[in-house]
């Protein structure tokens, strides 16, 4: 098939048809990624996928003009705000030159998608390194972070200042020589002191974003200092720090002191980390320069030795997305029967209470309910049934029956369906039953490779097995 008819799977990186919703090899939801061999702008040939997130993907590519490897970042966010922020990232990177920051080489739009071409940094991220080898020794961690902090100090010294706002272990790359690079400016902002305006998107990374980055708080240079402290915490302990919003809403600060997780950390380094991670902005370091001054360990190395494993505190790896297993048709039928039994039981109990109340009101009125009352009861049952399924699918991803048999409803992107999608799905299911299409729909579902019934296809949902039986 032609390259334009294919897409690369974000999980197994194999190629599927461009129209596929799930990977035929690993069942992961597809994102419409570029296939291997695709040539952009007549110059950049896609070699492999380096990473894929919620708003974009990064590919390894060959620059055919210069015969070098480059990183090509693709914007998957099609909203006007997302496209504007991608342009902001390109403009930020185009005007910065620093030994610990990647250079932008090109920016263009192809097939209605934005692309940014940058230096390709060989080597793993700090997150990958710690999760595979364990927490870093103190001297090695400080050597790496003094490089990263120099890059952040340079950004903050720009006029106007540039706030990164997404410093975390996965955004620190280390090349084979031990040189550290701070990457991914996807939610960076340019701080305009005169007008008090902020140019940039707002997003958070649990554990690494400061409290002011949630809601309507104002982020500044001290926000990056919090993220630097959180990233240094992870590098030295192998543990992700608790989410900032939980630290300020709980009665007790849930942050575990680093030395309790790794006793080899010196008290001096622990004080630096804890000060950077203060909840209130005024209690933190007020500049990167202050934090650098407290990290004095001699001369800043231009190149850092490859980190070695430290035995204490085994790393806690971040869970990665797993393939999506389609729920067997038998489980779906059993789930539907269990839901009918559940709602039938509730309505029976309701009817008994209603009859008891009516008998208490008029013991001599023992006539059966009229046609009007029977029709009213039928409407009540239909409304309760529909509301139960719509709310269960949109809020919890499953009804009682589905939870018992270990399946749940998800969108094509692996999320719980919204209220609108759940309402559309239930309305179409009612129409299928009303027009006696239940059996043909079941046959279609059994033969469909994605296990989607007609109401699933239209509403953009799919029924999958839960990771653990009975879980949501």
Establish whether the linkage from the previous residue to 160 is cis, with ω within 30° of 0.
yes
Residue 22 per-residue DSSP state:
B
Q: Enter the tokens of residue 351.
A: 């009817």
Please tell me the distance from the alpha carbon of residue 237 to that of residue 241, in angstroms, as a whole number: 10
How many CB atoms sit inside 10 A of residue 33's CB? 22
How many CB atoms sit inside 10 A of residue 105's CB? 18
Dihedral (C-alpha) 39, 44, 47, 49: value to the nearest 10 degrees? -100
Q: CA-based angle 351:352:355, to the nearest 5?
A: 85
- β-partners of residue 60 are 48, 71
Please tell me the distance from the alpha carbon of residue 189 to that of residue 202, in angstroms, as a whole number: 9
What residue ranges in 120-212 does DSSP mark as E strands?
Answer: 162-163, 172-174, 180-182, 189-192, 197-199
Q: CA-based angle 172:176:181, to the nearest 5?
A: 25
DSSP string, 367-418: PPP-HHHHHHHHHHHHHHHHHHHHHIIIIIS--HHHHHHTEEEEETTSSPP-
Please tell me the distance from the alpha carbon of residue 96 to that of residue 436, in angstroms, as a whole number: 65
Nearest to 214 by CA among 186, 239, 260, 248: 248
Nearest to 190 by CA among 87, 103, 92: 92
166, 184, 220, 456: the active-site residue: 166
Please tell me the distance from the alpha carbon of residue 49 to that of residue 431, in angstroms, as a whole number: 43
Whether 166 is catalytic: yes
Interaxial angle between packed helices 329-361 and 371-391, expressed in degrees from 0 to 180 and rounded to the nearest 10: 140
Q: The tokens 């790359």 sit on which residue? A: 173
Does residue 378 contact residue 386 with C-beta atoms inside 8 Å? no
Residue 171 per-residue DSSP state:
G
Does residue 174 contact residue 183 with C-beta atoms inside 8 Å? no
Please tell me the distance from the alpha carbon of residue 397 to that of residue 259, in angstroms, as a whole number: 41
Query: Looking at the annotation, which residues are catalytic?
Result: 166
């Amino acid at each position: 098939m032609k390259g334009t008819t294919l897409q690369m799977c974000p999980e197994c990186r194999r190629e599927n048809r461009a129209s596929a919703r799930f990977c035929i090899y690993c069942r992961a939801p597809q994102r419409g990624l570029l296939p291997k061999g695709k040539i952009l702008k007549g110059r950049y040939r896609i070699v492999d996928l380096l990473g894929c997130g919620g708003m974009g993907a990064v590919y390894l590519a060959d620059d055919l003009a210069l015969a070098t490897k480059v990183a090509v970042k693709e914007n998957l966010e099609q909203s006007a705000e997302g496209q504007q922020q991608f342009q902001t990232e390109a403009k930020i990177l185009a005007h910065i030159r620093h030994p610990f920051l990647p250079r932008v080489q090109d920016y263009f739009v192809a097939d209605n998608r934005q692309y940014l071409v940058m230096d390709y940094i060989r080597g793993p991220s700090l997150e990958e390194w710690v999760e595979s080898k364990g927490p870093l020794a103190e001297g090695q961690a400080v050597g790496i972070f003094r490089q990263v902090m120099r890059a952040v100090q340079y950004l903050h010294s720009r006029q106007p200042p540039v706030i990164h706002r997404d410093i975390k272990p996965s955004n620190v790359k280390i090349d084979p020589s031990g040189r550290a690079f701070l990457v991914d400016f996807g939610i960076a902002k340019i701080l305009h002191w005169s007008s008090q305006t902020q140019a940039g998107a707002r997003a958070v990374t649990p554990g690494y974003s400061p409290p002011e980055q949630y809601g309507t708080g104002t982020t500044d240079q001290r926000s990056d200092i919090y993220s630097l402290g959180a990233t240094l915490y992870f590098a030295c302990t192998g543990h992700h720090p608790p989410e900032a919003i939980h630290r300020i809403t709980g009665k007790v600060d849930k942050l575990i002191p680093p030395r309790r997780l790794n006793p080899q950390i010196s008290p001096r380094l622990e004080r630096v980390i804890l000060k950077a991670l203060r909840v209130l902005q005024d209690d933190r370091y007020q500049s990167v320069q202050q934090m650098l001054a407290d990290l004095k360990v001699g001369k800043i190395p231009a190149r850092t030795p490859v980190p070695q494993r430290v035995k204490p505190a085994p790393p806690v790896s971040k869970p990665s997305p797993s393939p999506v297993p389609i729920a067997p048709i038998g489980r779906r039928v059993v789930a539907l029967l269990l839901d009918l039994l559940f709602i039938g039981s509730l309505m029976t109990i309701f009817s008994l209470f209603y009859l008891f109340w009516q008998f208490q009101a008029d013991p001599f009125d023992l006539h059966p309910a009229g046609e009007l009352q029977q029709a009213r009861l039928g409407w009540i049952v239909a409304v309760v049934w529909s509301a139960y399924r719509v709310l269960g699918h949109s809020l919890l991803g499953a009804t009682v029956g589905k939870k018992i048999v270990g399946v749940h409803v998800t969108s094509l992107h692996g999320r719980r369906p919204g209220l609108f999608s759940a309402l559309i799905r239930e309305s179409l299911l009612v129409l299928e039953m009303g027009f006696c299409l239940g059996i043909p729909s079941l046959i279609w579902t059994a033969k469909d490779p994605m296990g989607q019934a007609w109401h699933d296809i239209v509403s953009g949902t799919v029924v999958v097995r839960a990771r653990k039986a009975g879980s949501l």
